[in-house]
């Protein structure tokens, strides 16, 4: 079975500081991993994904994520936070071995960037 | 929210009434999905469809029904059997094919309130 955990309900970061939003996953095979962002009363927007290869994935709006197979983690990072980064962030996983197109979402982490 | 439209944005219904939420995509995607979002629970999959005239139950299908008569359309009906229908409903699509790390594209959502 697939699962995703986002251990922090909320993360507070001062503007200009680096930010990290944590994600760990569990799949029986190898994963595809995704990060999405949601602004209030909007749908989710895709940020980045890990397929294979380089463990550091770069995505939209200056975000990046680091895949760590031994720790089964895929933490989202940004070197310098902006107030406009404040939003709800979702990590998601799909087991490569599954033939269906389902992906499993975490419960989300609310990121607050403090001016 | 590129290429996926959901209507209406807000919907109010009386208890005991069925209601249909619209989802249309012009991305030529094969796969479409319906999620329900409740505070603190992330996204839960209701139904998904990988191809026209075929769909599969997700994790919380009870009280919901769908159809996929056209590639671009995947309407969701919330029936009177759904015990707690008030929620934010999100439609998504992806290229999908049973393989590949295809990200999902989301519509803007419909907020349904049942009283």
% of chain B residues with pLDDT over 70 = 96
Degrees to nearest 5, angle at CA B58 with B55 and B59: 165
Cβ distance of B42 and A106 shorter than 8 Å: yes
Nearest chain A residue (CA) to B94:
A101
The torsion angles phi and psi of A85, rounded to 5 degrees, stand at: -80, -10
Q: Name which residue leads in pLDDT, A53 or B78.
A: B78
pLDDT of B42: 86
**Between chains, do B101 and A44 touch, taking CB under 8 Å as contact?**
no
State residue B1's pLDDT score: 47
- Residue B97's pLDDT band (cuts 50, 70, 90): low
- Contacting residues of B for A41, CB less than 8 Å apart: 88, 109, 111
Q: What whole-number distance in Å separates Cα of residue A30 and Cα of residue B47?
A: 24
| Chain A contact for B55 (CB, 8 A cutoff) | no
B29 CB neighbours in chain A (<8 A) are none
d(CA B77, CA B51): 19
Other Cβ atoms less than 10 A from the Cβ of A91: the count is 29
Least-confidence region, from A94-108, B19-33, B45-59: A94-108
Residue pLDDT, tens place only, B8-47: 999 999 999 999 999 999 999 999 999 999 987 889 999 9
Q: Could A42 and B109 be called an inter-chain contact, meaning their C-beta atoms sit closer than 8 Å?
A: yes
Residues making up chain B, counted from first to last: 115
Per-residue pLDDT band at A96 (split at 50, 70, 90): confident
Q: Report DSSP letters for A16-32, one per residue.
A: TS-EEE--EEE-SSPEE
- What pLDDT is stored for residue B41 in this prediction? 82
The tokens for B77 are 């009906």
Mean of pLDDT over chain A: 93
Give the pLDDT score at B40: 79
Q: What's the mean per-residue pLDDT of chain B?
A: 92
Of the candidates A34, A101, A103, which has its C-beta nearest B98's C-beta? Answer: A101
What is the DSSP code (8-state) at residue A39?
A: -
In chain B, which residue ranges form alpha helices assigned H by DSSP? none
CB contact under 8 A, A34 and B103: yes
Query: Which residues, in sequence order, are CB contacts of A77 under 8 Å at separation 6+?
Result: A18, A19, A20, A21, A63, A64, A65, A66
**Chain B nearest C-alpha distance from A59 (Å):** 13
Phi, psi of A77 (to 5 degrees): -140, 160
């Amino acid at each position: 079975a697939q699962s995703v955990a986002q251990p922090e309900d909320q993360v507070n970061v001062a503007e200009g500081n680096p930010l990290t939003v944590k994600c760990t996953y569990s799949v029986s095979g190898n994963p595809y991993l995704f990060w999405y962002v949601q602004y209030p009363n909007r749908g989710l927007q895709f940020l980045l994904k890990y397929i294979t290869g380089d463990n550091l994935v770069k995505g939209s709006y200056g975000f990046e994520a680091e895949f760590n197979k031994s720790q089964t983690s895929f933490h989202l990072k940004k070197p310098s936070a902006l107030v406009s980064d404040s939003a709800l962030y979702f990590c998601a996983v799909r087991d490569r071995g599954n033939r269906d197109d389902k992906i499993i979402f975490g419960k989300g982490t609310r990121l607050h960037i403090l001016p | 929210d590129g290429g996926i439209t959901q209507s209406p944005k807000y919907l109010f219904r009386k208890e005991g009434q069925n209601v249909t939420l619209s989802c249309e995509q012009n991305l030529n995607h094969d796969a479409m999905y319906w999620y329900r979002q409740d505070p603190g629970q992330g996204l839960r999959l209701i139904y998904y469809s990988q191809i026209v005239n075929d769909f599969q139950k997700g994790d919380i299908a009870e009280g919901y029904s769908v159809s996929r008569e056209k590639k671009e359309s995947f309407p969701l009906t919330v029936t009177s059997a759904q015990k707690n229908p008030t929620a934010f409903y999100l439609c998504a699509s992806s290229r999908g094919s049973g393989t590949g790390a295809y990200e999902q594209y989301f519509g803007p959502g419909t907020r349904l309130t049942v009283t």
